[in-house]
């Protein structure tokens, strides 16, 4: 991850030439401590290299914050019936810097939030039938309105794009019907 500090400018976060500080004047302002406090639901999909949707999922999340430290509990349900969990520990630092760890993340996720956007980079262990694969994630979040957060995550393996995740998060658990339920 390319992170640079310039005197007086705070953290600049480069992802494929996109910088989170480019969103500094965009509104509404995203503060993950506020948005991810309490229940949040999401619906999303995984798009493979061919551009076709390969998997759909829903997420039920609960966040609890104490100052700049938060714990996020995510529960996933996929369209094939598989379920999963991820437990994040997140810190929002000076100038909007982000540091997070999770049970399936190798090392720490690093990033920043600015204006209506937040971004993080990390290495994720993806379970497979024959073991696990580690992919790099470039995770972007864009606050659309007070209740809606759009997530776009690009996945790569040894520098090659392997897919993309797009999800719509709603505060208060209003993501819509759950995958695999009427």
The larger pLDDT score, comparing residue 137 to residue 15, is at 137
> Residue 108 domain-assigned?
yes
| Whether pLDDT at 10 is above 80 | no
Q: Does residue 178 belong to any structural domain of this protein?
A: no
How far CA 104 is from CA of 101, 126, 129, in Å, comes to 8, 8, 16
Mean pLDDT of 136-153: 96
Domain hosting residue 66, numbered range: 22-171
- Count how many domains the chain has: 1
Q: What is 27-54 written as a DSSP string?
A: SSPP-HHHHTSEEEEEEEEEEETTS-EE
Provide the 8-state DSSP code for 178.
P
Residue 12 placed within a domain: no
What average pLDDT does the chain have? 89
Q: What pLDDT score does 182 carry?
A: 44
The CATH number of residue 114's host domain is 2.40.128.20
Within-domain flag for 11: no
Q: How buried is residue 129: exposed, middle or buried, by Cβ count under 10 Å (0-12/13-18/19+)?
A: exposed
**Tokens 């992170």 appear where?**
3
Q: Is residue 129 part of a domain?
A: yes
Residue 180 lies in a domain: no
The verdict on residue 135 lying in a domain is yes
Where is average pLDDT lowest: 27-31, 36-40, 51-55, 132-136? 132-136
Residue 54 inside a domain? The answer is yes
């Amino acid at each position: 991850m390319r992170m640079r500090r310039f005197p007086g400018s705070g953290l600049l976060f480069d992802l494929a030439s996109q910088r989170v500080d480019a969103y500094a004047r965009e509104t509404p302002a995203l503060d993950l401590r506020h948005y991810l406090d309490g229940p949040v639901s999401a619906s999303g999909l995984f798009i493979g290299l061919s551009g076709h949707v390969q998997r759909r999922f829903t997420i039920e999340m609960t966040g609890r914050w104490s100052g700049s430290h938060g714990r996020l509990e995510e529960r996933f349900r996929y369209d094939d019936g598989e379920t999963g969990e991820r437990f994040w520990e997140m810190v929002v630092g000076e100038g909007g810097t982000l540091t997070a760890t999770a049970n399936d993340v190798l090392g720490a996720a690093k990033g920043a939030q600015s204006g209506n956007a937040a971004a993080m980079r990390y290495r994720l262990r993806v379970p497979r039938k024959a073991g696990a694969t580690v992919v790099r994630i470039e995770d972007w979040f864009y606050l659309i309105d007070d209740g809606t957060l759009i997530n776009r995550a690009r996945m790569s393996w040894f520098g090659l794009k392997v897919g993309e995740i797009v999800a719509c998060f709603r505060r208060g658990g209003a993501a819509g019907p759950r995958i695999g339920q009427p």
